[in-house]
Structure 1
Amino acid sequence: MNNTNKSPLKKLLAVFAHPDDESFICGGTLAKYASERVDITLVSATRGEMGRRMGNPPYLNRESMAAAREMELRSACDSLGIQRLLFLDIRDKTVEFADESSLTSRIADLIYEVKPDVVLTFHEKLGGHPDHCAIGKATTAAFQRSGIRGALYFITFGNAMERPERYGYSRKDVMKIDVHAHLEAKLAAFRAHRCQTGIDEWVWLPDHEAVANFGRYEYFLRADRGSSEENLDDLFSIPLGSRGFLS
């Protein structure tokens, strides 16, 4: 009889709006935790069928865009180590018009099912796109409703949160994740989203030149702004059960 004790896998649920959100914004972080055997579930509200980029040179149209972007997202998930991908089947650029109560309930059901230790989504005001803000608002409400013992974080863009005071936050609200060891995986995920990155010459430079365009860190805002937790470099560091939300 094998009595070897194995600690249970940690779980992360990422709820975003479009294919490529996962790679372009926090691909390094997802690859890092996947490499540490965190069980990751990615939810995309849409299939990105209204994306403005059609490839370079253009090879897609509105009829073929959704299927192509789904295939690209699945390839990006393989590059990042994401085990499970789900779609909410909302039309691109219409998430803000979806019934809020129904959308919140759907996401809450997923939270109950997955039982994640960490949930990632967009900030409902700092998301930068109506779809981003809408899925962030619904996910935040679903997390609050669920009452799970876990932590909620908002993804942010680039190194904007090096100076969080500009956005009404302080440094203790920011999680700074070192992803330098996972930039190759992030680059592979960028390249998987070919129709969106084909026009970006730097993505297709030799690997060592391309990864030099990435920052060493990715940044996340803690929804629990009242936490006194000192460890600001691990999304799983906040004690389970620590709760508190933006007003």
Structure 2
Amino acid sequence: MNNMNRNTARKLLAVFAHPDDETFICGGTLAKYAAEGADITLVSATRGEMGRRMGNPPYLNRETIAAAREHELREACDCLGIRELIFLDIRDKTVEFTDEESLTARIEDLIRDINPDAVLTFHERLGGHPDHCAIGKATKAAFSRAGRKDGLYYISFGDMMAVPERFGYTRSDIVKINVSEHLEAKLAAFRAHRCQSEIDEWVWLPDAEALARFGMHEYFIKTELAAPLVNDDDLFQSEDSGAVFAFES
């Protein structure tokens, strides 16, 4: 993408905890927006070096897993169309113990520098893993400190937000993204995360069978203080959000 298009493209910043968060949770959405010309930056707090999956059969150890997972994440980014990858170099399973002020300041600097139109992160209570919740809490604080209000979304797992009332939300709080045309890219990214996905036999079935395991939609929760949604099927909340802004030339 040339500099002119990069400056005019919609920008999406995803701030997650581990390699594979981007793919396993919202890979279809990232692939969709990348295909539409969005400029996507992914932040991974850790390199996932404390992950329990070491390949199937195991071929990694604590000394080699970090480099392997970084390499796999870079391959997954290529599959999804993510332009830039940034590591915060925090040790896996210690994000919750990282100095909160320092972590928030680092993310605030990224938000101010990138000036994204939308930011994705974990819900600070529904994240499901201490690292997830901690990075989500810091990102929410950083977003507010950067003077931003609209455009921050929490990711969710699977179709849990198809019925948001179970979690204290309403349908007006949820953005539902149709990812049906981008599942091939999502599957390729799953397979790029080889050491984490080899144990899941379905990922390695013939393509048609593996693709059938994916849902057609991914769900996102708008933050509590954000304005009402303009569109409930798009993370870019503008009246003309269906337009394609910029493609690589």
Residue 198 (str. 1) matches residue 214 (str. 2): no
Whether the 8 Å contact between 2:154 and 2:220 is mirrored in structure 1 is yes
Moved over 4 A (4+): none
Query: How far is 1:140 from its partner?
Result: 0.3
* One-letter amino acid of the counterpart of residue 184, structure 2: E
The 1:160–1:65 alpha-carbon spacing in structure 2 relative to 1, beyond 3 Å, is same
Whether the 8 Å contact between 1:42 and 1:85 is mirrored in structure 2 is yes
Residue by residue, what CA displacement relative to the aligned partner does 1:136-168 show, whole Å, maximum 9, x if unpaired? 000000000001475000000000001111111
Query: How far is 1:41 from its partner?
Result: 0.3
Give the corresponding residue for 1:16: 16
Query: How far is 1:6 from its partner?
Result: 10
* One-letter amino acid of the counterpart of residue 132, structure 1: H
Query: How far is 1:227 from its partner?
Result: 2.8
Greater RCO, 1 or 2 (C-alpha within 8 Å, sep 6+) = 2
Query: How far is 1:237 from its partner?
Result: 1.9
Whether the 8 Å contact between 1:69 and 1:193 is mirrored in structure 2 is yes
Structure-2 separation of matches of 1:221 and 1:149: 14
Give the corresponding residue for 1:183: 183
Residue 221 (str. 1) matches residue 221 (str. 2): yes
* One-letter amino acid of the counterpart of residue 53, structure 1: R
Give the corresponding residue for 1:32: 32
Structure-2 separation of matches of 1:224 and 1:152: 10
Structure-2 separation of matches of 1:69 and 1:85: 13
- The normalised TM-score by structure 2 is 0.91
Structure-1 separation of matches of 2:197 and 2:139: 28
* Superposed counterparts of 1:1-247, under 5 Å: 8-148=8-148, 150-224=150-224, 227-237=227-237
Unpaired stretches in structure 1, ≥5 consecutive residues: 240-247
**What SS is found at the alignment partner of 1:219?**
strand
Aligned residue pairs total 236
Structure-2 separation of matches of 1:88 and 1:193: 19
**What SS is found at the alignment partner of 1:140?**
helix
Whether the 8 Å contact between 1:152 and 1:224 is mirrored in structure 2 is no
Whether the 8 Å contact between 2:156 and 2:220 is mirrored in structure 1 is yes
RMSD (CA atoms)? 1.7
Query: How far is 1:129 from its partner?
Result: 0.2
Query: How far is 1:195 from its partner?
Result: 0.2
Query: How far is 1:118 from its partner?
Result: 0.3
**What SS is found at the alignment partner of 1:62?**
coil
Identity of aligned residues (%): 71
Give the corresponding residue for 2:242: none
**What SS is found at the alignment partner of 1:213?**
coil
Whether the 8 Å contact between 1:117 and 1:149 is mirrored in structure 2 is no
Query: How far is 1:7 from its partner?
Result: 8.6
Give the corresponding residue for 1:243: none
- The normalised TM-score by structure 1 is 0.92
Whether the 8 Å contact between 1:161 and 1:174 is mirrored in structure 2 is yes
**What SS is found at the alignment partner of 2:234?**
coil
Whether the 8 Å contact between 2:120 and 2:152 is mirrored in structure 1 is yes
The 1:135–1:7 alpha-carbon spacing in structure 2 relative to 1, beyond 3 Å, is closer
* Range with bigger deviation, 220-229 or 76-85: 220-229
* One-letter amino acid of the counterpart of residue 65, structure 2: M
The 1:79–1:6 alpha-carbon spacing in structure 2 relative to 1, beyond 3 Å, is closer
Residue by residue, what CA displacement relative to the aligned partner does 1:167-220 show, whole Å, maximum 9, x if unpaired? 110000000000000000000000000000001110001111101000000000
Unpaired stretches in structure 2, ≥5 consecutive residues: 240-249
